[in-house]
Structure 1
Amino acid sequence: MHCLKSSDFLPRLLRMTVAALLLALIGQASSAHGEASIEIKSVRIKPVEGAYEFDADFQITLNHKLEHALEKGIVLYFVTELSLVNSRWYWFDERVGYSRVREGLSYYALTRQYRLTRGALSQNFGSLSDALQALSRVRDRPINASEELIPNAEYTVELRTRLDIAALPKPFQVETLGSREWDLGSGTLRWNTRLPSQKLQDNSK
């Protein structure tokens, strides 16, 4: 019967431990690489002609499932929503400003181009990375106010962006039930801010 010497046991155990850790790290890296995610990078509310607009930047990553859906001709719609909320200690909070941006990302196999559609406007891209970069930039989006927004007053801002599952074809909606591969959203980011003052109009000639 072969006996393992104590002098051999510790180096062998160390090698096995290191190998297990490496495999775990490789597995985590592979899993992370295949995950879809949306991260809010920055947001800015700015005054313009007696009203307010916002700019936002995101980092959007698609997984293989979503990329494959694009290649099969499925349009992926993304919705970005921003709310201005007036917090009231004596009553329920009131939403006084709202903006909603809906954009469609599609792929055309004949031209091998990706298309980003915003309302009646569309733009073509030669690669998915370029299309996602454009999708990640929201600029000059008006905030519709239900009442007059007061400069320098404090409001709660709520911002989120997500994949609109309801806009997918019915068979794909069934597939998304309980599937994390289709669960793509930033979650809601909330913070308090004071609206910037409106810029004074220069009427001098």
Structure 2
Amino acid sequence: MSGALRLLLLFLLLSLGASAWSADFTVKEVQIELQDQRYLMSAQIDFQLSEQALEALSNGVPLTLEVHLIVEKTWHRFWEPLPYEGYLRYQIRFLALTGLYRVVDLQNGEEQSFVTRDAALRALGEIDELALVTQAELINGESYQLRLRAGLDIESLPLPLRPLAYLGTGWKMTTGWTRWPLQP
């Protein structure tokens, strides 16, 4: 067997193994509607945590999830200002003393408690009527898009855990960029 073929087989085996160990975040649904001259976005993101992240969470390590949002022209030039760019940050933590999962909206400090981890993760993935831009901020006749990406913020992990998260496959959880049309 040639060296190139062996290398290809090794790469395929490692790829299959890595995908079996890691989890995925998925953008299930995005709705954009115009209300009172303002574009509002609602979204449903499915946060499926990896075994490593679930173990850390069950041991009291808080996990911070970040949603990055950008409204831009479909054919955006890098020097043009963006009509909207923002980050939504949420934290989930298991409280061993009470057996509850706490979800904190880090924008406003609002907290919710859940009996089950699945209920907490479902609540984390619900974004309801987030104001993006006003209709006046977009140029009529231009075509715009909303780009959305959600992922685990490795920098928010406790310092001793960060090297493992950067080097391990089970910590790189993201939706990748998804695009949704936005017409003024």
Asked if these proteins are the same fold (TM beyond 0.5), I'd say: yes
Per-residue deviation, 1:88:
4.9
Among 31, 36, 56, the alignment partner of 1:44 is 31
Q: 2:57 matched to 1:109?
A: no
1:71 is matched by which residue type in structure 2? S
Residue of structure 1 in register with 2:173 after alignment: 184
Among 121, 125, 144, the alignment partner of 2:114 is 125
Tell me how far apart the structure 2 counterparts of residues 150 and 93 of structure 1 sit (CA, whole Å): 13
2:32–2:182 contact (8 Å) kept in structure 1: no
Q: Secondary structure at the match of 2:97?
A: coil
**What is the root-mean-square deviation of aligned Cα atoms in Å?**
2.7
Tell me how far apart the structure 2 counterparts of residues 50 and 139 of structure 1 sit (CA, whole Å): 17
Say how many residue pairs are matched.
167
Tell me how far apart the structure 2 counterparts of residues 150 and 188 of structure 1 sit (CA, whole Å): 24
What stretches of structure 2 of length at least 5 have no aligned partner? 1-15
Q: Quick one: structure 1 residues 103 and 120, their matched pair in 2 at CA, closer, same or farther if it must change by over 3 Å?
A: same
Decide which structure has the larger Cα Rg and report it. 1
Residue of structure 1 in register with 2:160 after alignment: 171
Per-residue deviation, 1:94:
4.0
Matches within 5 A, 1:51-70: 51-70=38-57
Tell me how far apart the structure 2 counterparts of residues 90 and 103 of structure 1 sit (CA, whole Å): 31
Residue of structure 1 in register with 2:148 after alignment: 159
Among 127, 131, 139, the alignment partner of 1:142 is 131
Q: Quick one: structure 1 residues 152 and 47, their matched pair in 2 at CA, closer, same or farther if it must change by over 3 Å?
A: farther
Residue of structure 2 in register with 1:21 after alignment: none
Q: Secondary structure at the match of 2:60?
A: coil
Deviations along 1:117-175, one digit per CA (max 9) or x if unpaired, are 11321111111111111111111212157x71246742022111011111111111121
Q: Secondary structure at the match of 1:67?
A: helix
Q: Secondary structure at the match of 2:162?
A: helix
Per-residue deviation, 1:184:
0.6
Sequence identity, in percent?
A: 24
What stretches of structure 1 of length at least 5 have no aligned partner? 1-28, 196-205
Per-residue deviation, 1:49:
2.9
1:86–1:155 contact (8 Å) kept in structure 2: yes
Per-residue deviation, 1:68:
1.1
2:146 is matched by which residue type in structure 1? V
1:174 is matched by which residue type in structure 2? P
Q: Secondary structure at the match of 2:137?
A: coil
